């Protein structure tokens, strides 16, 4: 039976260039965070995705108002659905009620794609953010949307987080089975809808997903007080419910001859997105790298390497310490440092220890196939965030969205309060595109710096990291003070708090852009033409005679192993003859 999973695409080096299908989500429940916030990180990775900050204004819509549906990945027009009577404000992937949603694509069984569906995964996310106030309401909204209008996309893992709870919702379509209505003669897809399962992450735990379905077995409704099927979806708001699933998630698998075992043995991931080497090494390893920072994951290293697929890693783990937003930012910057997959250690890192490998990911030598690692931090990120949902603050203040564009490891998370009614110019939709450079676009500025740093990583990255940490540490301190001031204003007049936080958001974003522009200029001057200018007391040294003439620059050359490799490959052609 033909199966289209992301791992197969990875193995054959055919990752679709127009899909945001390399994304990563890390989830931190409120009991696992240092300040009591629920957190979600999301990197939207694609070779064609532009980094910008989306904005949807709240609205009241008259009966009969229709919503045009365009596939998020391609812009393809899919059709229309009735708009909700009331929609909420959304900044990025977080709404005014502190509900935040992220995703990662895993594809799954190719024959389950439904070209007749209207709801692609992008619409599922953003329409839900505009219609739901919390995670449970979001799950109900998503289930009802795909049941009524059909699900257009392939398999997805979707993170749904609010100030109190965190859920993972995994979904795939049911394919196309066109039949004709006997009365009207109209044709319709008998398989319209989707199969799905949602699991609440227990408080005090962390979770994540990165392009492979992670929910395996789950308790069924019969005999369990904490599990319901979609037939009883109205019960989702009962606090004891921790598992929700499509009523036909197992029966459909039986009809399709995917599954023949006992219901209790059913595993969503194994049936709808079977695991192989590529999905373990290229996808699950990212989650493993996150988990291992906060708990002992040595027992699953073989699994992360793709060598022991039966040793499935758990959906969630309990960290050995509580995480801050800065910890999550750090986790998103991972290149497997300190592990057997450390991307800075093999010769592929080049003479300057770069943790980046250009695509395609796999290659063949002497009939054997090999792969580069697929780290969390990657060059083709469009935009990313670390969202904090803070239950102890009013929604207008509590929703904090640390946003960045381009490669997360080489950029800065800027704090965006989601009550803001004005998107910073440097991050605004329409300020440049992937085919149009804009000098005021943060995406293009970060790419200018990052692409320069890639060339001499070990020398240039420390200068970048210094500014990165300087800004993020300053912003963390500023947010604490801003929260206090905003709360005082909110008690006086909520509108004043929104005005204050909008101004803070925009001024901070502008500061990020301007400081990074200074870094761009500094790096160019310091590292021009392979030289490294000498510095003293924060200034470039001069030759002692003219302030416009620098001291003779450093020329550190190449590491010993590199020189030997060049010598061995070139032979005597480069040998100096005396």
Q: How far apart are CA 4 and CA 191, in angstroms?
A: 19
Render pLDDT for 375-388 as a digit per residue (tens, 0 to 9): 999 999 999 999 99
pLDDT band, very low/low/confident/very high, at 504 (cuts 50, 70, 90)? very high
The 10s digit of each residue's pLDDT in 133-170 is 999 999 999 999 999 999 999 999 999 999 999 999 99
Share of the chain above pLDDT 90, in %: 93
pLDDT tens, residue by residue, 122-136:
999 999 999 999 999
Digit-coded pLDDT (tens) for 214-243: 999 999 999 899 999 999 999 999 999 999
435 by Cβ neighbours in 10 Å (0-12 / 13-18 / 19+) ranks as exposed
Mean pLDDT within 375-404? 97
pLDDT at 185: 87
Q: What is the pLDDT of residue 571?
A: 86
Interacting residues of 103 by C-beta distance below 8 A, sequence separation 6+: 23, 25, 42, 121, 125, 156, 157, 158, 159
Measured between alpha carbons, how far is 469 from 301 in angstroms, rounded to an integer? 30
Query: pLDDT tens digits, residue range 13-27?
Result: 333 333 345 799 999
Query: Which candidate, 160, 173, 170, places its Cα nearest to that of 42?
Result: 160
Model pLDDT, residue 5: 39
Q: What is the pLDDT of residue 3?
A: 34
Question: What is the reported pLDDT for 40?
Answer: 98
For residue range 76-120, list pLDDT tens digits in order.
999 999 999 999 999 999 999 999 999 999 999 999 999 999 999
Run of H or E residues at 385:
strand 381-389
Looking only at the bridges linking them, the beta strands covering 206-209 and 24-28 are antiparallel
Give the three-state DSSP class for 394: coil
Pair of tokens at residue 291: 């988990």
């Amino acid at each position: 039976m033909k199966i289209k999973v992301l791992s197969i695409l990875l193995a054959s080096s055919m990752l679709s260039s127009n899909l945001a299908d390399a994304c990563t989500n890390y989830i931190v429940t409120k009991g696992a965070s240092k300040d009591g916030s629920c957190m979600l990180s999301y990197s939207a990775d694609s070779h064609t995705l532009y980094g910008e900050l989306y904005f949807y204004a709240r609205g009241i819509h008259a009966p009969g108002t229709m919503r045009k549906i365009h596939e998020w990945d391609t812009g393809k027009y899919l059709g229309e659905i009735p708009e909700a009577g009331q929609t909420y404000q959304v900044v990025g992937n977080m709404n005014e009620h502190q509900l935040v949603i992220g995703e990662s694509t895993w594809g799954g069984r190719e024959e389950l794609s439904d070209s007749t569906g209207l709801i692609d995964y992008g619409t599922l996310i953003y329409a839900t953010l505009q219609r739901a106030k919390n995670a449970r309401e979001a799950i109900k909204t998503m289930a009802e949307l795909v049941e009524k209008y059909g699900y257009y996309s392939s398999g997805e893992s979707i993170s749904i987080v609010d100030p109190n709870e965190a859920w993972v919702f995994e979904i795939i379509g049911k394919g196309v089975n066109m039949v004709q209505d006997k009365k009207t003669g109209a044709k319709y897809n008998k398989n319209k809808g989707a199969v799905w399962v949602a699991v609440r992450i227990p408080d005090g735990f962390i979770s994540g997903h990165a392009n492979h379905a992670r929910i395996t077995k789950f308790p069924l409704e019969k005999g369990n007080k904490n599990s319901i099927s979609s037939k009883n979806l109205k019960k989702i708001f009962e606090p004891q419910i921790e598992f929700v699933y499509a009523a036909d998630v197992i029966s459909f698998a039986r009809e399709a001859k995917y599954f023949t075992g006992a219901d209790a043995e059913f595993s969503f991931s194994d049936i709808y997105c079977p695991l192989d080497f590529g999905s373990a090494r290229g996808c699950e390893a990212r989650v493993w790298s996150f988990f291992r920072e906060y708990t002992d994951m040595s027992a699953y290293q073989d699994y992360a390497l793709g060598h022991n697929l039966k040793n499935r890693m758990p959906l969630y783990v309990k960290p050995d310490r509580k995480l801050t937003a800065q910890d999550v930012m750090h986790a998103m910057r991972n290149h497997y440092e300190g592990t057997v997959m450390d991307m800075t250690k093999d010769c592929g890192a080049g003479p300057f220890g770069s943790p980046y490998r250009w695509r395609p990911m796999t290659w063949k030598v002497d009939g054997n196939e090999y792969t580069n690692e697929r780290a969390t931090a990657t060059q083709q990120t469009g935009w990313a965030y670390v969202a904090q949902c803070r239950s102890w603050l009013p929604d207008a203040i509590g929703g904090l969205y640390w946003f960045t564009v381009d490669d997360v490891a080489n950029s800065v998370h800027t704090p965006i309060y989601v009550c803001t009614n004005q998107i910073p110019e440097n991050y605004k939709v329409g300020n440049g595109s992937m085919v149009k450079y804009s000098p005021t676009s943060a995406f293009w500025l970060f790419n200018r710096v990052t692409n320069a740093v890639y060339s001499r990583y070990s020398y240039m990255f420390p200068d970048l990291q210094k500014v990165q940490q300087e800004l993020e540490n300053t912003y963390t301190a500023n947010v604490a003070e801003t929260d206090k001031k905003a709360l005082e204003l909110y008690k006086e007049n909520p509108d004043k708090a929104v005005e204050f936080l909008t101004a803070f958001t925009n001024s901070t974003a502008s500061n990020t852009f301007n400081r990074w522009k200074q870094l761009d200029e500094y790096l160019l001057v310091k590292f021009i033409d392979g030289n490294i200018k000498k510095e003293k007391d924060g200034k470039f040294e001069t030759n002692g005679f003219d302030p416009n003439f620098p001291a003779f620059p450093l020329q550190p050359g190449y590491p010993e192993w590199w020189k030997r490799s060049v010598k061995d490959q070139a032979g005597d052609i480069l040998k100096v003859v005396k």
